[in-house]
Structures are given as structure tokens and as C-alpha cells.
Copies of this chain bind each other. A is one copy, B any other.
Amino acid sequence: MDEQSELKLREEHLCHGGAVRFYEHPSTTLGLAARFGLFLPPAALAGEKVPVVYVLAGLTCTDETFLIKSAVLAEAARLGLALVAPDTSPRGAGVPGEDTDWDMGTGAGFYLDATQEPWRKHYRMESYITRELPALVEAAFPLDGEKRGITGHSMGGHGALVHALRAPAFWKSVSAFAPIVHPSAVPWGEKAFSAYLGLDRATWRKYDTVCLLEDGFRHPSTILVDQGDADQFLERELQPWHLEKAAAAAGQPLTLRRHAQYDHSYWFVQSFAVDHLRHHAAILGKVG
């Protein structure tokens, strides 16, 4: 198929009987080459169509981070879950200043479509992860698009929650690690949204989990969120109590677990990542 012919395999490694692969392809959405990681469990290598969880990484990370650091591939192999790991922003867009700050521009796409100059041409990670990438990988590999979940860490947790709430029939299961739940009200989000979306805060609401819940968006499955209490970004950027309150007011099923002494790192993510895969597998196993 056409999509497959544009996929350039950069690396492949057998792992837990499955395959870890890193691809590059020309993204029409981003107008640039884009990279993603893929884990195919043994069942998929044997030709079976398998459920798939998209894993979104956080600020400064890449398509490699989650697959290398989440320590979750043994369980993905066992459960028969594929993982798709997109990059966190376009790369090489050439926007002035995009490489100056670690929380804006490169590595910090926030999984939205920018509407403002000079970002709007290339910074279109929303369309990329919700349309181009699923269409591409689900045509090229034995992935069951009817059993599709999404998770992420920090900025990636924000992306997972936002897109699952806005398209619950598309993303049938959702979870997050230490997500940015109310970006409109915290420094990371205010900085990025002002630049990418402009100063009219009404346009920010569709990229803000708490606002989406306030505005009537719901997900039929329980949202699983883990959060470390020693997270260095807890008070300033993450503020999970806003999610707790909004979900309760909205009647959105939410399991928010707080973990004493855990910080924001992938050492925290890997400590609970197996639980997340089981959460997705349990929901996706009942679908279709």
C-alpha cells in the first residue's frame, strides 16, 4: 500500500518475542519528516490483528523515550498489545526561537494544531496523532483500530486526556501519568497556548481537560491517572485536584491514584506502567 512504501524503517529489534521498531516518514500534516516508535507483540508478528495503545511522551522527549524508559514491553507482549509512540513535536520546522526554550517549540508540541504565526504551518501535532498517524500505522500493520487506546506522561498525559474526551469513540480507553490537567491555568500551558493559539482563551478550552469536562465532554470508560506526591511539578504545573473536582462534578469515572514519594520521572512512570497496560487491555478486550 502507498502508506507503507513511505515508511522508512530506521531500526528494528526483537524484544520479549515482539518487535521494537523506529520509523521515519514524510508527514503531509506536519510538512516535515516525522518519526515514531512501534512495539508489535508476538501475536501481531504472527499476523493477528491486535489492540493498540498510543503513548504520548512529555516535554523534551522523543519517539524513543516511552519505549526505552517505561519498562513495559514484557507486559505488552504478554497482553498482546501494540504500542505506537509518536514524537512530541515537529522537528526542524525552522520557526525562529523553536529551540530556545525546552517548554516551547521543539519537543513541546502540546498535541494541538497551532493557529498562530509562525507556528501554524508545521505545529499540527493534533491532526498528526489523531488522523495521519493512526491511518498510516493501522493500514501498514496488523493493528485493530476498533480497539485503540491512548496514554501519556505529563504533556503527553494532557494530550491523551484531551483527545480521548473529544473523541471517545475513537480512543476507547485512556490513562495518564502525571498529566497537565488544566493547562489554561498553569505556566507551561499559558506560555504554549498563548503562542500556539493566541490570547483568546476561549480557543484554549478544547485543549484543556478540566475545561472539556466543564463543557460537557465525557469518556464512557474510567480514566486512570497516576500522580506522584513528590513530583517537582505538582503544585505549579499539574494540580491534579482540578481534575478530581471537575470529574466529580461531571460524573466522569476517574481513578486518580496519588503515590507518596514518587517524582515526575520515568522511574515513577515505570513503577505503574504495567497497571496502565492492564487497564487498557481490560477495556479494549470488551470492545467490538
Contact = CB atoms under 8 A, between A and B. Distances in A.
Interface of A: 13-17, 20, 68-69, 71, 73-74, 228, 230, 261-263, 265, 267-268, 270-271, 274
| This protein's copies in its complex | 2
Contacts of A228: 14
16 contacts: A13-B267, A13-B268, A14-B228, A14-B262, A14-B271, A15-B267, A15-B271, A16-B270, A16-B271, A17-B271, A20-B267, A68-B69, A71-B71, A74-B270, A74-B271, A74-B274
A14 B71 contact: no
A13 B269 CA distance: 11
Given A69-B68, A71-B74, A270 B14 contact: no
A267 B14 contact: yes
A270 B69 contact: no
A254 B20 CA distance: 30
Nearest to A70: B71
A69 B265 CA distance: 14
Nearest to A262: B14
Contacts of A262: 14
A71 B230 CA distance: 23
